Copies of this chain bind each other. A is one copy, B any other.
Amino acid sequence: MQHTNIYEMGLDKNPANFTALTPLSYLQRAASVYPNRVAQIHHQNTTTWGETYTRCVRFASALNKAGIHEGDTVSFIAPNIYALFEAHFGVPMSGAVLNAINTRLDAEAIAFILQHAETRILFVDREFAEVASRAIKMLGAQRPRVIHIDDPFYTEGELIGEMDYEAFLATGDADFSPILPQDEWNAITLNYTSGTTGNPKGVVYHHRGAYLNAVSNAVSWNMGEHPVYLWTLPMFHCNGWCFPWTLAATVGTSVSLRHVRADAIYDAIKESKVNHFCGAPIVLNMLNNADAALKAGIEHQVKVMTAGAAPPASVIEGMENMGFSVTHVYGLTETYGPCVVCAWHEEWDEKTLTERARLKARQGVKSPMQEGLMIANPDTLEPVPQDGTTMGEIFIRGNLVMKGYLKNPRASEEAFAGGWFHTGDLAVWHPDGYIEIKDRSKDIIISGGENISSIEVEDVLYRHPEVSEAAVVARPDEKWGETPCAFVSVKPGSQVTEQEIIQFCRDNMAHFKAPKTIVFGELPKTSTGKIQKFVLRDQVKTL
């Protein structure tokens, strides 16, 4: 007998009970409830939520007047200042898609992105005029319109656009009605992966994911209301892990930062009472090693979120001594930034520093609004046992996973094969359900048929008192197939030798895992502070 479901009769969606999820709603609410609260601090300039809303509305209107409509791309090459913050609302309010470009890229990479994204208007901060100009020239007749950003607190570089961002805003109407998405699945932003090999891929985010991750950040990090957030993390990196939208949802304050420098960061913490910021471990390391005078005088609790590598014990200790609390997270461009968090348990506070560092080194568990996280066999998608030793690939699914790669259905299909997003990262699953990354698939070194985790070797190297940074890659070897080769930078004045470091490794791990070669020198890094192993892999071929 057919079962009649009484709950499916005459209970459909309508404009009274259904609205497409979009983070633009957070801005509208922040501006209407707290119009006079400070939304943005940029040096001596402050902008309220009411003013920020009006500026974003004008921005959207100006874009529409400039012929920008739904599905068009608006690109930015800018530091973490007002224009890019406002673009996170103003661009989608015009129906268009925001593409924030990594400012460390070379002209060729920028040109590729502008072409692939079919950018209609490009906003360029004066600091990046030179590289942007070269990229634009490469595009020939397909070049976008260019608007420059003339930051009143920065004088270097050039103004290469047809007008300034402020003049562009002035062409918009303050009473323009923002265009809200009809479908929460509509694109809101486009972020290109760093592309260690081949061309970068364009990761598309939608309004639904941006809305949900904004609030997942707030819950996961226990941010409370009105957080004061400093932009140490680039907004071109997964839209600043979605924090522009989180700040609207929590009615917080966005503190701009053009250059990531210890003095500027400590000044902002003290003067603007910053209580939240994100950064790669290298940023924490820099803060930790700063002058005692800079560090003195912080009276309030500061929370730091870090990703990209596990924070070493010495960094955690240094941060704790300043009253900073460090949360370790993990994610990818494809997952709106971090969607895995090392959720802390109160009872862990009692443990020793070493033990706390070990626990905090783990990437953790899914964030509050992510749905699925597993470590599984990459071929069968069979979850591995939660034994802390069996390695598998990290798979993620849920509402905090990208819409897909722009104009690249094959890559999207591969990434989503089997109904899970394939991260390419290798990890173990601990008995308590926390994951711990052991390596990128391509960073595994296979020596004499045995797998060697380059991360494991690096962990030992970091424990050597004279090593400041280390990265291990595979070196081709006739006999063993591959052997571990370590690139190491040492502390100032250190006289440590290759042989001493190799011996230290042999004393602290299985001998076959110890590096056979040590190369001393500075390590190449991406704009977000990640060591560029692909550069080292090139170098290793010439050794």
Residues of A within 8 A of B (CB): 3-19, 21, 25-26, 29, 32-34, 69-71, 73, 97, 118, 185-187, 190, 204, 215, 218-219, 222, 224-226, 249-250, 343, 345-346, 365-366, 368-369, 371-372, 396-399, 401-404, 406-407, 409, 412, 415-416, 419-421, 433
Q: Which residues of B contact A9 (CB under 8 A)?
A: 407, 409
Contact pick for A401, options B16, B25, B29, B397, CB 8 Å: B16
A347 closest partner in B (C-beta): B36
Checking B11, B71, B366 against A7 with a beta-carbon cut-off of 8 angstroms, the contacting residue is: B71
Determine whether the beta carbon of A97 is less than 8 Å from that of B7. yes
**B407 x A204 contact (CB < 8 A):** no
Interface centre among A185, A249, A250, A402 (most CB of B within 10 A): A185
Residues on B with beta carbons closer than 8 Å to the beta carbon of A10: 404, 407, 409, 412
In Å, the complex CA distance between A431 and B396 comes to 47
Residues of B within 8 A of A249 (CB): 219, 368
The answer to whether A404 touches B17, judged by C-beta atoms less than 8 angstroms apart, is yes
Q: A14-B419, A33-B433, A371-B19 are in contact. Are A219 and B218 (CB under 8 A)?
A: yes
A221, closest chain B residue (CB)? B225
Cα separation A351 to B411 with both chains bound (whole Å): 59
Q: Which B residues lie within 8 Å of A5 (CB)? A: 70-71
Given A6-B406, A7-B186, A406-B6, check contact A219 B368 (CB 8 Å): no
Q: Are B204 and A343 in contact (CB under 8 A)?
A: no
Q: Which residue of chain B has its CB nearest to the CB of A366?
A: B29
Please, how many angstroms separate the alpha-carbon atoms of A219 and B372 in the complex?
A: 23
Are A421 and B8 touching (Cβ within 8 A)? Answer: no
Check A404–B345 contact: CB distance below 8 A.
Answer: no
Residues of the B chain whose Cβ atoms lie less than 8 Å from the Cβ of A70: 3, 5
Pairs of residues from A and B, 5 with the lowest C-beta to C-beta distance, nearest first: A5-B71, A15-B419, A7-B187, A10-B409, A17-B401
Asked if residues A343 and B33 are in contact (CB atoms below 8 Å), the reply is yes
Distance (Å) between the CB of A34 and the closest chain B CB?
7
The chain B residue with its CB closest to the CB of A95 is B5
Q: Which residue of B lies closest to A412 (CB)?
A: B10
| Closest beta carbon of chain B to A466's beta carbon, Å | 38
Q: Can you list 30 A-B pairs with a CB-CB distance of less than 8 A?
A: A6-B71, A6-B118, A6-B407, A7-B187, A7-B190, A7-B403, A9-B409, A10-B404, A10-B409, A11-B204, A13-B185, A15-B420, A16-B396, A16-B397, A16-B419, A16-B420, A17-B397, A17-B398, A17-B399, A17-B404, A19-B398, A25-B371, A29-B366, A29-B368, A34-B343, A219-B219, A219-B249, A222-B224, A222-B225, A224-B224
Which chain B residues lie closer than 8 Å to A345 at the CB level? 34
Given A69-B3, A71-B6, A215-B215, A187 contacting B11 (CB threshold 8 A): yes
The CA of A13 and the CA of B71, in the complex, are separated in Å by 18
Question: A204 to chain B: which residues have CB within 8 Å?
Answer: 7, 11
On chain B, the residues within 8 Å of A34 by CB distance are: 343, 345
User: Given A371-B25, A404-B10, A404-B11, are A416 and B17 neighbors across the interface (CB < 8 Å)?
Assistant: yes
Residues from chain B with a CB closer than 8 A to the CB of A343 are 33-34
- A32-B365, A433-B32 known; A11 vs B403 contact (CB < 8 Å): yes
Q: Is the pair A215, B219 in contact by a Cβ cutoff of 8 Å?
A: yes
Q: Which residues of B contact A215 (CB under 8 A)?
A: 215, 219, 368-369
A419 to chain B, nearest CB (A): 3
Query: Nearest B residue to A5 by beta-carbon distance?
Result: B71
In-complex Cβ contact of A33 among B16, B29, B365, B406 (8 A): B365
Q: Which of A69, A71, A97 has the most CB of B within 10 A?
A: A71
A13 partner residues in chain B, CB cutoff 8 A: 185
Known: A11-B404, A215-B368. 8 other contacts (CB 8 A): A6-B71, A7-B186, A7-B187, A13-B185, A14-B419, A15-B420, A19-B399, A33-B433
Q: Please report the C-alpha to C-alpha distance between residue A25 and residue B399 in the assembled complex, in whole angstroms.
A: 12
Complex interface: chain B residues within 8 A of A7 (CB): 71, 97, 186-187, 190, 204, 403, 406
Is A17 touching B421 in the complex (CB atoms < 8 A)? Answer: yes
**B residues in contact with A25, CB < 8 Å:** 371
Cβ of A499 to closest chain B Cβ, rounded Å: 45
Select one of B14, B222, B224, B412 contacting A11, CB under 8 A.
B412
Bound-state CA distance A6–B96 (Å) is: 11
Q: Which residues of B contact A18 (CB under 8 A)?
A: 399
Chain B residues with CB under 8 Å of A218's CB are 219
A187 CB contacts on chain B under 8 angstroms: 7, 11
Taking CB as reference atom, which chain B residue is nearest A406?
B6
